[in-house]
């Protein structure tokens, strides 16, 4: 059940939206069908982009900063891999992508039993062929 403060807060934002104003700055008109003006939405988008880059760097460091198969280290080439091809299972952690996945992994203490770092080449080879040509991972992932 919502508290009195939550109900009051909801009513306040409903009034602002009804006037067609941005819920953040309350001065500019909100974009059609949106709750924020373009200026506030752009500012939020820039903040989220910077935060995601920072969080991704933290995740790369937590998972060793190199491909588990070939040892590739440039961060632009690295991706998180669901160990044993578990990326299609119906659990929230395994369905999450991008910022939501990064936040979940951080909250869970970067679980090493479900995820690892692979470069895009090794990750694609494992997903498509079921093995990596480097031969350092075996046949842990099955064809999807």
The pLDDT tens digits for 9-64 are 788 878 877 788 887 787 777 777 778 888 888 898 899 899 999 999 999 999 99
Torsion of CA 71, 131, 78, 144, to 10 degrees: -170
Count of domains in the chain? Answer: 2
What pLDDT score does 19 carry? 80
Residue 86 has pLDDT above 80, yes or no: no
Same domain, 62 and 131: yes
Whether 11 is covered by a domain: the verdict is yes
CA 60 – CA 56 distance, rounded (Å) = 6
Whether 32 is covered by a domain: the verdict is yes
Q: What is the mean pLDDT of residues 64-68?
A: 93
Please report, rounded to a whole number, the percentage of residues in the chain having pLDDT higher than 90. Answer: 29
Range of the domain at 114: 51-144
Same domain, 140 and 81: yes
Same domain, 31 and 63: no
Residue 24: which of 12, 8, 6 has the closest Cα? 12
Same domain, 30 and 68: no
Same domain, 122 and 62: yes
């Amino acid at each position: 059940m919502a508290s009195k403060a939550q109900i009051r807060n909801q009513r306040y934002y409903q009034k602002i939206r009804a006037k067609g104003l941005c819920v953040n700055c309350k001065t500019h008109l909100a974009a059609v069908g949106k709750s924020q003006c373009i200026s506030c939405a752009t500012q939020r988008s820039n903040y989220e982009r910077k935060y995601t880059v920072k969080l991704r760097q933290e995740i790369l460091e937590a998972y060793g900063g190199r491909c588990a198969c070939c040892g590739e280290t440039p961060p632009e080439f690295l991706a998180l891999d669901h160990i044993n091809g578990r990326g299609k299972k119906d659990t929230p952690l395994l369905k999450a992508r991008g910022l939501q996945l990064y936040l979940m992994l951080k909250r869970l203490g970067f679980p090493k039993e479900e995820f690892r770092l692979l470069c895009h080449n090794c990750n694609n080879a494992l997903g498509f062929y079921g093995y990596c040509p480097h031969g350092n991972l075996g046949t842990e992932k099955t064809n999807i």
